[in-house]
Structure 1
Amino acid sequence: MKKICLLLLLLPALQFVQAQNHQTLSDEGYQDNKIVFQVVTQDTLAHKALMKQLNNIRSVAPNTPIEVVCHGPGLYMLVTERCVIQKQIKEQAAKGISFVACEFSLKERNVSKDAVVPEANFVRSGALEIANKQRLGWSYLKAGF
Structure 2
Amino acid sequence: MFRLIFFSAALLMFQQVASAQKSDYKVVFDLTSNDPVAQQQVIRDAGLIKSAHPDAQLEVVVYGQGLDLVRKDKSAQADAIAKLVKQGVAFKACHIAMDRQHVTESQLISGVQTVPDGIYEIINKQRTGFGYIKVAH
CA contact 1:30–1:61 (8 Å) conserved in 2: no
Aligned equivalent of 2:44, options 52, 60, 63? 52
Give the letter aligned to residue 82 of structure 1.
K
| 1:97 is the counterpart of 2:89 | yes
Q: How far apart, in 2, do the equivalents of 1:35 and 1:29 lie?
A: 18
**Residue 23 of structure 2: SS of its match in structure 1?**
helix
Q: For the residues of structure 1 that align with 2:55 and 2:71, how far apart are their CA atoms?
A: 27
Q: Percent identity?
A: 27
Distance in 2 separating the partners of 1:53 and 1:127: 21
Structure 2 gaps, min length 5: 1-19
Relative to structure 1, the CA distance from residue 74 to residue 30 in structure 2 (aligned partners, 3 Å threshold; closer, same or farther) is farther
Cα deviations by residue, 1:39-89 (Å, 9 ceiling, x for unpaired): 100111211111111121112211100010000111111111000000000
User: How far, CA to CA, are the matches of 2:96 and 2:63 in structure 1?
Assistant: 8
Distance (Å, rounded) in 2 between the aligned partners of 1:94 and 1:121 = 13
1:81 to 73, 88, 100: 73
Q: For the aligned residues, what is the CA RMSD?
A: 1.4
In the aligned structure 2, how far is the partner of 1:108 from the partner of 1:119? 21
Shift of 1:133: 0.5
Match of 2:33 in 1: 41
Deviation at 1:144? 2.2
Q: How far apart are 1:31 and its partner, in Å? A: 2.5
Task: List, as ranges, runs of 4+ consecutive aligned residues in structure 1 with deviation greater than 4 Å.
Answer: none
SS in 2 for 1:110: coil
Structure 1 gap ranges (5+): 1-27
Separation (CA, whole Å) in 2 of partners of 1:115 and 1:89: 14
Residues 1:110 and 2:137 aligned together = no
Over 3 Å counting, the alpha-carbon distance change for 1:30 and 1:70 in structure 2 is farther
Larger Rg: 1
Contact 1:42 1:74 in 2 (8 A): yes
CA distance in 2, matches of 1:78, 1:59: 22
1:68 aligns with 2:60: yes
1:126 is matched with 118
The TM-score with structure 2 as length reference comes to: 0.81
